[in-house]
Amino acid sequence: MVMAGAATQTSPVSDGTKPSVRIVRPGYAALDHVLVAEDHRPTREALRTLLELKGFQVTAVGDGSDAIEGLSDPDGPSIGIIDWMMPGASGVEVCRAVRAAVPARYVYLIMVTARDREEDVAEALAVGADDFIRKPCGPTELIARVRCGRRTIELKQSLAGRVAELEGLVERIRQLKRLLPICMYCKKVRNDSDYWQEIEAYLHQETGTDFSHGICPDCMPNALRGLDEPALPVRPPVEPS
């Protein structure tokens, strides 16, 4: 039975077998989308079942070429669990292709293999893998590493948002440094919409700066002029005779 409000999708496989149906619950974030690339069908199905039980959305493929296509999609999975030896393309080739194809979106890649030489680990990391898991791997360790990948993607997305915010602020500062049209009489400033506004309002809109008004030393004498003059005596009211 499918839960209310849920949709069903099929997980693509490349070995000619009939795709199996899985449940996709609404509210999945891209961070929870994992691609499993494993040519051994029982292992692939076991990984998909484990990840879905832990709340991840899973796309399972059995061919390296399908893995490259899925992970290179701008809206594709954010995490890839890649077997080293696969038809179509090896895990090393998948990592290299994904790093070259997705410069604007970071994908966390976990290489899974029975190889255990130090040179193999170094090769996987050199072509773009973020993590390396030796087979056999227990389910607890695998889920922990996938969640670590999700945290990494979250941090990268947060950092990218802050960078974009800072770039916007720098652009505003550049606008203020450029020639600014200002009225020579009332001192209003013309903004980009050809609207004249008070300079205080303009700077607050562009930079968030608020002003506290005071009197500078040069203007102080003019402001105090007349305050030092003695006040005229007040005549008492004249009583009627």
Mean predicted confidence (pLDDT) in 20-45: 71
Write down the pLDDT at residue 18: 41
Compute the distance between CA of residue 138 and CA of residue 77 in angstroms, rounded to an integer. Answer: 23
CA 187 to chain centre: 41
What are the tens digits of pLDDT across the range 186-227?
Answer: 778 777 677 787 777 777 777 777 777 778 888 878 777 766
**Distance from C-alpha of 51 to C-alpha of 146, rounded to nearest angstrom:** 9
pLDDT over 90 (residue 94): yes
Note the pTM of the prediction, 2 decimals: 0.60
Sorted by where each starts, the structural domains of the chain and their CATH numbers stand as 7-155 (3.40.50.2300), 179-211 (no CATH)
Q: Which residues pair with 42 in a beta bridge?
A: none
Q: How confident is the prediction for the chain on average, in pLDDT?
A: 79
- Looking at residue 7, its pLDDT comes to 41
Say if residues 5 and 20 touch (Cβ distance below 8 Å): no
What does the pLDDT look like over 144-185, one tens digit per residue? Answer: 999 999 999 888 888 878 888 888 878 777 766 666 777 877
Per-residue pLDDT band at 126 (split at 50, 70, 90):
very high
Average confidence (pLDDT) over 131-136: 88
Of 145, 132, 157, give the one whose Cα is nearest residue 30. Answer: 157
Q: Write the burial class of residue 101 (CB in 10 Å: 0-12 exposed, 13-18 middle, 19+ buried).
A: middle
Report phi then psi at 59, rounded to 5: -115, 125
What's the mean pLDDT in 82-93? 93
Indicate if the pLDDT at residue 20 is higher than 70: no
With a cut of 80, say whether residue 143 has pLDDT above it: yes
